[in-house]
Amino acid sequence: MEVLFFSAFAMSLAFAIQPGVIGFESLRRGISHGWTAALHVELGSLLGDGVWAIIALLGASILFQNRWVTLLLGVFGCVLLLRFAWDAWRASREDVEMAGADDAQSNHLLAGAMLSLSNPQNITFWLGMSGTIIGVGFLDPQPIHLLVFFAGFMIAQVCWCFFFATVVEFGRRLLNQRLFRWINLACAIFLAGMGLSLLMQTARMSLAQFA
């Protein structure tokens, strides 16, 4: 069991280090609003990941093979990414008081959760979890093995959330308005690109399913 736990832990950290939508949005909000904002975006994404994991483990993923559900999630994810890209673009055009307190009106936790929940591809990882467990030597995975893997993965993710938020908090102290604008511009371009990519992917899937 220890091998399975630490394998999941290491895999989770490798997964978290890769640049992605959550990381960019957490960075953008953290630089603007501080440590708490960055942490809440990261933790919110874990709530979404947990929902996808439960769906996969309960065998309810068949519901998300419905073409209408897939289309709805794809459109929602695209709109969400483009909205956040627009927010980042606007932030890149104006001065922001980076030393101020966190904006209590911004629900960073909800933003992180929505970004995770709007990506149905997350369920692919959890559906492939049994194969990963087999790969580390458990040829006949039982529920306890899935639970240990899930625990190792999520504990590592929580550790990463606090680490990343701390890095962002220290980094924001070294930034000036010019660098902040460039970071927001980079985030806007990345988020918009991801949104358009999701839009094209959703369109292709819809055309194939409805043909």
pLDDT tens for residues 106-146? Answer: 589 999 998 888 776 666 666 666 556 655 555 566 777 77
Q: Which of 211, 202, 207 is nearest to 70 (CA)?
A: 202
Which pLDDT belongs to residue 205? 73
Q: Is residue 187 part of a domain?
A: no
Token pair recorded at residue 140:
């006949």
Reduced 3-state DSSP string for 21-66: HHHHHHHHHHHHHCHHHHHHHHHHHHHHHHHHHHHHHCCHHHHHHC
Amino acid sitting at position 206: S
Torsion of Cα atoms, 79 then 84 then 87 then 88, to 10°: -140
pLDDT tens for residues 64-112? Answer: 556 776 677 677 778 877 887 887 788 778 766 555 545 554 589 999 9
Tokens 């606090």 — which residue?
A: 162
Which pLDDT belongs to residue 105? 46
Q: For the chain, how many structural domains are there in total?
A: 1
Token pair recorded at residue 111:
């933003």
What is the domain range of residue 36?
2-9+20-68+94-181
Q: Is residue 42 part of a domain?
A: yes
pTM: 0.74
Q: Is residue 49 part of a domain?
A: yes
